[in-house]
Chain A
Amino acid sequence: MANDKVSKISKRYEIPIGPIHPALKEPIRVEAEVKGEKVVKVDVKRGFAHRGIEYMGMKRNAIQTLYLSERICGICSISHPYAFVLASEKALGIEPPPRAQYIRTIIAELERIHSHILWLGVVAHEIGFDPILFWTWKLREKVLDVLEAITGNRINYAMYMIGGVRRDIKESHILALRDMIDYYRKAADQMKDIFLSDPIYKARTKDVAKLSQDLALKLNIVGPTARAAGLRVDIRQDIPYDAYADIDVRAVVPQDIMGEVNGDAYDATLVRIYEIEQSLDIIEYCINNMPEGKLLAIPNYVALLTTIRKTQGEGIGAHEAPRGEVIHYVKYDGTRDGPVVWKVIAPSYNNINCWGPLLLGAEVADIPVVIAFIDPCLCCNDRIAFVKDENGRVLDYFEIHNMSVNKTMKIKRMLGV
């Protein structure tokens, strides 16, 4: 074994990235074979966070499933409910009131701002630029405060409901929103200054993770990653829904800003910073043109559940999440008050496809940048874990817990503590 290792070391190393690694915030495994500093072979293994969440939804009623979908991921905690709500409304034939549609759009855009700023911080951290990570996350507090004021929590907002929203936006919230918009207009300029002009940031991201338009199309890349490669794709533009249908949203692509497209991590930064500004415009439009009216199409939850039990239908809901398009497929069969089939496709599901081709031939130092540049969300991507003992028997939660307690005791005895 040892000799084998030594002979390997002289030529090629295997660098295991994950399931636990400082560059990853969630579990996934990238096995890279490295020759010097060049990656010569790469393999991506997913499924470490597969929780069978769709099955859990099929056991619950629609309202419970909606809030379960919020727990698919904490950062996209509006994107999944949004897509689920859109799909359910299509399946059930419910039209949400106009005011609710505008409020939904505002919340979704607020989430985009915080997610993009979070990404900017993460990518800075991956290249060793921690002070900028702290700075961007400091800027992010403002939007989280506004979200907390409107929805009640900093994350997991519990805002959406099939056929509307649960809470109204009051005058005081609108003041806070206007204040926030001014704050981020200045902050976006600062971010452009710092990220786009920094020599080392440029050196580390230019021509790294370079995705051509053709490859992006072939690999089904979506969201800001595809837009950074110059593809004009954006669900808000292609299949507008809710308030986006009133606003002429256009995909932000680097060729409109810089005049050329590289499709690298630098362009991805560019696209995300300009999308923050675009979101601010959308929020401003929404609060200026907010219609009056009620918030829920069916205000009583019990009535809603009864309607669902009586309705047959299926629907696909697509929402442009901060990371790309998230698609929910829901089918109601008129026998139970929850979905019989529920399938989630998160943006990272498609975006991880590009890791293989991009990592091949890249440098070891570029691995974190390639991994981070699509803004992977593995809890969205993976959604049954079985643990077996040596006889192949499936262990349940309590047995595993007891085993770990016993092991701790054994180690303690061994050490004589």
Chain B
Amino acid sequence: MPTKAMFLMIRQLLQRPFTNPFPVKYAPKNVTKTIEKVKLGQMSINNPIPVPDGFRGKLKYDPERCIGCRLCITVCPANAMEWIPEVRKIRHYVTRCMFCGLCVDVCPGKKLPGETAPVKALSMSKEFLLADYDKYSDNLIVEPTSKEQSLNNQEPSSDQK
């Protein structure tokens, strides 16, 4: 017995699939090899769908502009910011971040010499491919200074909000 659903299915058979085959159409046999190949440029992957303008991705932090006002720590719902008293800057944990963008709204920023308006220290990038096996890996922690400097200059501190 033909139903409306059946006609719908036949119509869909004639259309192209709706799925965006990102990053590859079928799961590869060996994932690590595929990633290596992509890195070497021997293989190309399908692009993801572009994200809109207001997209909130991984947080970008410019320590130069940070005045150490701790407002972002006050508003952050997930306690993703850690205060480092030695350098009076923050450390951001991407794994704890809930991508609400409140810290960006509240950040006062700093006016460098020669500028008319202050520029915020924090901004939302469009980066969203953040999966990792280790939640403390380097690319999931935004450090205020380069890793060598910040970690050599200070003792391990447990001071946090």
Residues of A within 8 A of B (CB): 60-61, 63-68, 70-71, 129, 131-132, 135, 138, 141, 148-153, 156, 158, 166-167, 190, 193-194, 197-200, 301-302, 305
Contacts and interface: CB of A to CB of B under 8 A. Distances in A.
Q: What secondary structure prevails in chain A residues at the interface with B?
A: helix
Contacts of A141: 18
A152 B55 contact: yes
Nearest to A61: B74
Given A156-B98, A158-B102, A301-B102, A197 B75 contact: no
Interface string B95-107: 0001111100110
Interface in B33-61: 51-56
A65 B100 CA distance: 12
Most buried by B among A64, A66, A156: A64
B52 A67 contact: no
B8 A194 contact: yes
Given A63-B77, A67-B77, 14 more contacts: A64-B77, A67-B100, A68-B77, A138-B18, A149-B53, A152-B54, A156-B98, A156-B99, A158-B99, A158-B102, A194-B4, A199-B3, A301-B106, A302-B71
A193 B5 CA distance: 9
A148 B101 CA distance: 14
Nearest to A158: B100
Nearest to A157: B100
B56 to A, nearest CB: 5
Contact of A302 (B53, B98, B106): B106
Contacts of B102: 63, 67, 158, 301
B1 interface: yes
Contacts of B8: 135, 190, 194
Contacts of A194: 4-5, 8
A328 B53 CA distance: 33
Interface in B69-110: 71, 74-78, 98-102, 105-106
A130 B54 CA distance: 34
A68 B77 CA distance: 6
Contacts, number: 77
Contacts of B18: 138, 141
Contacts of B99: 153, 156, 158
B5 A151 contact: no
3 residue pairs, one from A and one from B, having the closest CB atoms: A67-B77, A152-B54, A158-B100
B76 A64 contact: yes
A198 B75 contact: no
A297 to B, nearest CB: 15
Contact of A60 (B12, B52, B77): B77
Interface of B: 1, 3-5, 8-9, 12, 18, 51-56, 71, 74-78, 98-102, 105-106, 124
Nearest to A301: B106
Contact of B3 (A152, A198, A305): A198
B80 to A, nearest CB: 11
Contacts of A190: 8
A5 to B, nearest CB: 41
B4 A301 contact: no
B54 to A, nearest CB: 4
Given A71-B98, A198-B4, A199-B3, A148 B77 contact: no
Residue of A150, A158, A200 contacting most chain B CB atoms (<10 Å): A158
Contacts of A158: 56, 99-102
A197 B3 CA distance: 8
A132 B5 contact: yes
Contacts of B4: 193-194, 197-198
A148 B52 contact: yes
Contacts of B12: 135
Contacts of B56: 152-153, 158
B3 A63 contact: no
A168 to B, nearest CB: 10
Nearest to B76: A64
Contacts of B9: 131
A166 B3 contact: no
A193 B7 CA distance: 12
A129 B6 CA distance: 12
A49 to B, nearest CB: 18
Contacts of A197: 3-4
Contacts of A166: 101, 105
Contacts of B106: 301-302
A301 B3 contact: no
Contacts of A305: 74
B5 A167 contact: no
B8, B56, B74, B100: most-surrounded residue (chain A CB, <10 A): B100
A65 B124 CA distance: 22
Nearest to B49: A145
A60 B74 CA distance: 9
A77 to B, nearest CB: 11
Given A63-B77, A64-B76, A71-B98, A131 B5 contact: yes
Contacts of A151: 54
B94 to A, nearest CB: 15
A301 B102 CA distance: 9
Nearest to B69: A302
Nearest to A148: B52
